[in-house]
């Protein structure tokens, strides 16, 4: 199985990206330089292909121990198939980074330059300075916000062999056997989401009013409300019936900056993530009386990671104008680009203003989240999109989508059955996603597109 190695100097975010790609917390992450001193390895899935991901020790020759770590890392790079070289986008390009990057290019392997910690416009402007590296494949990402990571995954995917891991929980090939060569369904077996409770997680940093919002939604004092940050530690569950639908709300513990977590609060983040794993929709609560913070963006990234339906709730909205709402909305859209699909609503949880509008919003997004898109209409949209903007050829060879079919729900997951799946560029996938949003009601939910061979044994021709 092919190896993908993450390389870079200490504290550029390699272990965080490792955990993100592995979809679990394996590598220890901290702000202490040199936390990772050995290599962590795990088998991961990128879309429908598998590889071994390697988290290497930071490249640093300042001490004898770190010099040994660096030597081991470079040896591991020689034995890898794909190299992801990471730099810190909070700083200007470093000569040492450039020297290491050029030495890695000499290994003649697919190599990407990844500029991490691009969390805002200033970081994005600074990232242009890294053009001096002359990298053919460069990605600006924010691991903490899950921004740009999908583009990197799409690039890695192009170089992975079509190996099928045994006992995969989602057997896409088996699912596609239910469809003929035109994408028409042969047998339909869909889960009845209409009979399930809608699970809603309330998340945000400490003291933004999550507990007050839960109380307003269920119309009773279910959560303890206090100005003391960190009052809620364990998730608080409460069910409520609205128009014959059961809503299950969970008020999660407020998330602090990592350096300010105290006592049993250190478990709050893990418990919040455990809740989100079982949640359909997240209410991301922001304090409209305070400026947006880096921690708000980080929490938004956590919600995005779990591929949930999302509503952004501006709480503590008392006596503010429509112009002020538009200003804050534009700021959120600028900083939370990865949540461009999430609607924004302003409320006052303590005063109960506009809280009632959340119920129909949640229901609409849940329907979008669990909807079955008609195969014929989906393929009609794909045909129109590819005619308007044809798929770019790959080294002179035609890249063609035979048909598209939805193979998963919550959120909608679409397989693009085609002749050369590795050749579908991530920018074209983004184009198709935007076209889908124009045609179908997908407000508030992410969309997962997976290019796939017509048959697992087919070769690209």
**Sequential DSSP letters for 412-443:** TEEEEEES-GGGS-HHHHHHHHHHHHHHS--T
* Inter-CA distances, 280 with 170, 297, 299, 366, 406, Å: 19, 20, 16, 7, 18
Does 141 fall in a domain?
Answer: yes
Q: Does 131 share its domain with 276?
A: no
- Report the pLDDT value the prediction gives residue 428, as an integer from 0 to 100: 92
Q: Is 211 annotated as a binding residue?
A: yes
Cα torsion at 125, 130, 132, 137 (round to 10°)? -120
Are 19 and 71 contained in the same domain? Answer: yes
C-alpha triplet 42, 48, 50: angle, nearest 5°: 25
- Domains of the chain: total: 3
pLDDT at site 70 = 63
Same domain for 179 and 254? no
| DSSP 8-state code for residue 358 | H
198 forms bridges with which residues in the sheet? 247
Supply the pLDDT for residue 395: 82
Burial 279-301 (b: 16+ CB within 10 A, else e): bbbbbbbbbbeeebeebbbbbbb
pLDDT tens figures, 257-268: 555 444 434 455
14-22 and 149-158 helices cross at what angle (nearest 10)? 70
**Binding site annotation covers 208?**
yes
Q: Name beta bridge partners: 405.
A: 415
pLDDT at 39: 59
pLDDT number for residue 315: 96
The pLDDT of residue 317 = 93
CB neighbour burial string for 64-92, b if at least 16 within 10 angstroms, e if fewer: eebeebbeebbebbeebbbbbbbbbbeee
CA distances to 3, 60, 107 from 100, in Å: 19, 11, 11
Tell me the pLDDT band of 224, cut-offs 50, 70 and 90. very low
Confirm whether 328 is domain-assigned. Answer: yes
Residue 192 assigned ligand-binding role: no
255 is in an annotated binding site: yes
Known binder of ligand: residue 259?
no
pLDDT for 207-218, tens place per residue?
898 888 988 998
Q: Is residue 118 a known part of a binding site?
A: yes
Residues 202 and 186 placed together within one structural domain of the fold: no
In this prediction, residue 243 carries a pLDDT of 84
Residues 185 and 203 in one domain: no
Q: Verify that 88 and 139 share a domain, yes or no.
A: yes
Q: What is the pLDDT of residue 177?
A: 59
460, part of any domain = no
Average pLDDT value for residue range 292-308: 87
Q: Is 458 helix (H, G, I), strand (E, B) or coil?
A: coil
> Is 301 within any annotated ligand binding site?
no
- Res 282: pLDDT: 95
> Does a structural domain hold residue 252?
yes
Tell me if 57 is assigned to a ligand binding site: yes
pLDDT of residue 83: 95
Task: State mean pLDDT over 61-65.
Answer: 49
Q: In this structure, are strands 3-8 and 82-88 parallel, antiparallel, or unpaired?
A: parallel
- Listed residues 320, 352, 369: the one ending a domain: 369
List the one residue out of 314, 323, 308, 311 whose CA is nearest residue 354: 314
167 in a domain, yes or no?
no
The response to whether 206 counts as a known ligand-binding position is yes
Q: Contact at 8 Å (CB) between 51 and 1?
A: yes
- Residue 376 is encoded by which pair of tokens? 């014929």
> Quick one: 44 and 143 in the same domain?
yes
Same domain, 207 and 311: yes
445 has binding-site annotation: no
156 is in an annotated binding site: no
- Same domain, residue pair 18 and 40: yes
Residues 105 and 211 in one domain: no
**296 located within any domain:** yes
**Residues above pLDDT 90, as percent of the chain:** 43
* % residues pLDDT > 70 (the chain): 77
Least confident of 2-11, 174-183, 448-457: 174-183
144 versus 164: which is more confidently predicted? 144
Query: Do both 211 and 349 map to the same domain?
Result: yes
Determine whether the annotation assigns residue 31 to a binding site: no
Q: Is 58 annotated as a binding residue?
A: yes
Rounded distance between C-alpha atoms, residue 249 and residue 95, angstroms? 51
Q: How crowded is the C-beta side of 331, counted as CA atoms within 13 Å?
A: 16
Contacts for 326 with CB less than 8 Å, ≥ 6 apart: none
Domain interval for residue 120: 3-158
Determine if residue 147 is labeled as part of a ligand binding site. Answer: no
Q: Is 8 annotated to bind ligand?
A: yes
Residues 6 or more apart in contact with residue 263 via CB below 8 angstroms: none
347 is annotated as contributing to ligand binding? no
Give the neighbor-by-neighbor strand order of the sheet with 401-408.
Answer: 401-408, 413-418, 448-453
Average pLDDT over residues 193-211: 87
Q: Which of 351, 369, 387 marks a domain boundary?
A: 369
Confidence bin at 69 (pLDDT 50/70/90): low
Distances (CA, A) of 62 to 38, 58, 68, 388: 17, 11, 10, 55
Instruction: Tell whether residue 209 is among the known ligand binding residues.
Output: yes
Q: Is 93 annotated as a binding residue?
A: no
226 known member of a binding site: no
Instruction: Flag whether 205 is marked binding.
Output: yes
The pLDDT tens digits of the residues spanning 319-342 come to 888 899 999 999 999 999 889 999
Is 55 marked as binding a ligand? yes
> If you average pLDDT over every residue of the chain, what do you get?
81
CATH of residue 91's domain is 3.40.50.300
Q: Residue 423's domain is classified under what CATH number?
A: 3.30.300.20
State pTM to two decimals: 0.61
**Residue at 280 is within a domain:** yes
The secondary structure of the chain in percent helix, strand, coil, rounded to multiples of 5, reads 35, 20, 40
**Displacement of CA 214 from its chain's centroid (Å):** 26
Q: Is 201 annotated as a binding residue?
A: no
358 and 219 together in one domain: yes
Q: Do the annotations mark residue 14 as ligand-binding? A: yes
**180 known member of a binding site:** no
16 is in an annotated binding site: no
Q: Who has greater pLDDT, 170 or 106?
A: 106
């Amino acid at each position: 199985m092919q190896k993908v190695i993450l390389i870079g100097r200490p504290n550029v975010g390699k272990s965080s990206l490792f955990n993100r790609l592995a979809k679990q917390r394996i590598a220890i992450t901290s702000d202490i330089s040199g936390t990772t001193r050995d290599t962590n390895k795990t088998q991961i899935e990128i879309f429908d292909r598998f590889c071994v991901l390697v988290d290497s020790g930071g490249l640093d020759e300042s001490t004898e121990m770190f010099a040994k770590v660096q030597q081991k890392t470079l040896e591991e790079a020689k034995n890898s198939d794909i190299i992801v070289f990471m730099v810190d986008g909070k700083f200007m390009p470093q000569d040492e980074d450039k020297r290491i990057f050029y030495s890695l290019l000499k290994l003649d392997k697919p190599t990407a330059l990844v500029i991490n910690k691009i969390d805002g416009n200033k970081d994005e402007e600074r990232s242009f300075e890294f053009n001096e590296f002359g990298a053919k494949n460069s990605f600006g990402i924010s691991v903490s916000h899950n921004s740009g990571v999908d583009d990197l995954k799409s690039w890695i995917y192009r170089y992975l062999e079509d190996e099928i891991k045994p006992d995969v929980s989602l057997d896409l090939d088996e699912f596609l056997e239910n469809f003929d060569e035109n994408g028409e369904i042969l047998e339909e077996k869909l889960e009845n989401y209409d009979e399930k409770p809608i699970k809603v997680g309330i998340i945000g940093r400490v003291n933004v009013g999550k507990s007050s919002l839960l109380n307003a939604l269920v119309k009773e004092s279910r959560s303890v409300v206090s100005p003391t940050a960190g009052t809620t530690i364990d998730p608080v569950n409460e069910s409520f019936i609205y128009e014959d639908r059961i809503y299950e709300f969970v008020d999660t513990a407020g998330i602090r900056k990592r350096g300010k977590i105290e006592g049993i609060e250190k478990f709050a983040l893990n418990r919040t993530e455990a809740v989100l794993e079982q949640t359909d929709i997240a209410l991301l609560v922001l304090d409209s009386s305070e400026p947006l913070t880096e921690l708000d963006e980080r929490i938004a990234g956590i919600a995005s990671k779990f591929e949930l339906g999302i509503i952004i709730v501006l709480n503590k909205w008392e006596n503010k104008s429509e112009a002020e709402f538009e200003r804050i909305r534009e700021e959120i859209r600028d900083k939370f680009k990865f949540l461009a699909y999430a609607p924004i609503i302003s409320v006052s949880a303590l005063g109960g203003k506009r809280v009632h509008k959340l119920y129909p919003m949640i229901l609409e997004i849940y329907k979008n989240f669990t909807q079955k898109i008609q195969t014929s209409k989906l393929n009609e949209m794909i045909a129109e999109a590819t005619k308007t903007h044809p798929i770019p050829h790959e080294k002179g060879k035609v890249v063609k989508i035979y048909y598209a079919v939805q193979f998963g729900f919550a959120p909608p997951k679409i397989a693009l059955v085609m002749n050369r799946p590795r050749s579908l560029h991530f920018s074209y996938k983004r184009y198709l996603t935007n076209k889908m949003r124009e045609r179908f009601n997908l407000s508030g939910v992410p969309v997962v597109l997976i290019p796939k061979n017509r048959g697992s044994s087919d070769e690209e021709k």
